């Protein structure tokens, strides 16, 4: 991974990349409005690489997402958007081939993909559905979750029907803050029936595989704001990743990132896609980035030197902690490393 390279000429994160895949919430926008610098940075990146968007948001159609992105100033067609409902239908076709009746818990984005895949939509467990597919929509109510529970009362090994979730994101960034996501609704059904859903969206592979195949990617880079879905998912399919600190995860989460959820690049905002990414060097256990230097000594994380940029101190701290192999919760971490001047919703 590029993060621990000792001797490489500084390159931008997008050098040599032919396909850039970007998450939406917390990367491009929070609520209806664009995040600072996101639109101009992505439009510039599109001049040298194929640009596509991957979203776990199951509430909207690919066409409506493309329309929203276009209204923000991006050049986007519906075919540029890969949604978790599309990935869910890819999975569903392997489990319950169309035509069949499926109980849909979710909004227009999910209903549209279910119908395009050749299935009949029902909202009632009394219609003997062959499967349940569940995705987030603001209008999903207790009565919808109850229908899912009624349909899923039997385990599959006792003759029960399959259950596919578009995603299990616990939270969604909004203009006013962080709100509950589809993971909370899936968990409610799980609590009622004691079953686990098969998941199609990030961090699972199906949604990434759909995007890589659709865009014919050879060297892809994924941009996300969450370690547990975006970065983990990119790692699972073997592509480089950017964590941008404009969404959910903060410096404290970066320092605690477990193996398999560590980004190739850590950016304060998307302008840094176009800047040389600083070399991270190590000597005698001291990790240095642009004059910021951090080491782990026993149970102590020590700031050896500081530069003017908090992002470089965070990069050095993450490199030192990750290389130590010691979980961050048993380390004494200076509060300075947790400083968070980065934009967030």
Kind plus residue range of the DSSP H or E element containing 330: none
Q: Residues for the chain: how many in total?
A: 345
What is the rounded CA–CA span in Å between residue 243 and residue 226? 7
For 262, the token pair is 């560590």
* Annotated catalytic residue, options 23, 112, 169, 230: 23
* Of 214, 100, 224, residue with least CA distance to 162: 100
Q: How many CB atoms lie within 10 A of CB 75?
A: 12
* Of 63, 62, 3, residue with least CA distance to 279: 3
CA 205, 209, 210, 211 torsion-angle sign: positive
Q: How many CB atoms lie within 10 A of CB 49?
A: 20
Q: Please compute Rg for the chain using Cα positions.
A: 21
Residue 15 is a catalytic residue:
no
What is the rounded CA–CA span in Å between residue 154 and residue 259? 36
Residue 25 is a catalytic residue:
yes
- Would you name the residues annotated as active-site residues? 23, 25
């Amino acid at each position: 991974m590029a993060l621990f390279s000792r001797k490489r000429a500084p390159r931008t994160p997008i050098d040599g990349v032919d396909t850039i895949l970007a998450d939406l919430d917390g990367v491009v926008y929070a609520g209806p409005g664009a995040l600072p610098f996101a639109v101009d940075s992505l439009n510039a990146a599109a001049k040298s690489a194929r640009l596509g968007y991957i979203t776990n948001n199951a509430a909207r159609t690919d066409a409506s997402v493309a329309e929203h992105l276009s209204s923000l100033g991006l050049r986007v067609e519906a075919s540029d958007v890969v949604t978790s409902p599309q990935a869910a239908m890819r999975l569903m076709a392997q489990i319950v081939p169309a035509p069949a009746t499926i109980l849909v818990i979710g909004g227009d984005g999910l209903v549209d993909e279910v119908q395009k895949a050749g299935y009949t939509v029902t909202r009632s467990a009394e219609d003997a559905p062959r499967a349940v597919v569940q995705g987030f929509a603001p209008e999903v109510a207790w009565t919808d979750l109850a229908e899912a529970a009624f349909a899923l009362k039997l385990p599959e090994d006792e003759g029960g029907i399959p259950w596919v979730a578009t995603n299990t994101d616990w939270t969604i960034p909004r203009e006013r803050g962080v709100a509950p996501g589809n993971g909370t609704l899936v968990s409610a059904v799980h609590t009622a029936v004691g079953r686990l859903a098969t998941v199609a969206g990030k961090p699972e592979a199906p949604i990434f595989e759909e995007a890589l195949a659709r865009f014919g990617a050879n060297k892809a880079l994924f941009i996300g704001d969450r370690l547990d879905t975006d970065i983990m998912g990119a790692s699972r399919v073997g592509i480089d990743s950017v964590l941008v600190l404009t969404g959910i995860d903060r410096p404290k989460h970066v320092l605690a990132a477990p193996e398999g959820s560590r980004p190739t690049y850590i950016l304060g905002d998307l302008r840094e896609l176009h800047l040389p990414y600083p070399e991270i060097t190590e000597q005698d256990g001291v990790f240095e980035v642009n004059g910021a230097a951090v080491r782990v000594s026993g149970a102590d994380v020590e700031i050896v030197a500081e530069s003017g940029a908090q992002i470089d101190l965070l990069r050095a701290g993450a490199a030192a902690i990750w290389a130590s192999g010691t979980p961050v919760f048993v380390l004494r971490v200076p509060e300075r490393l947790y400083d968070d001047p980065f934009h967030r919703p």
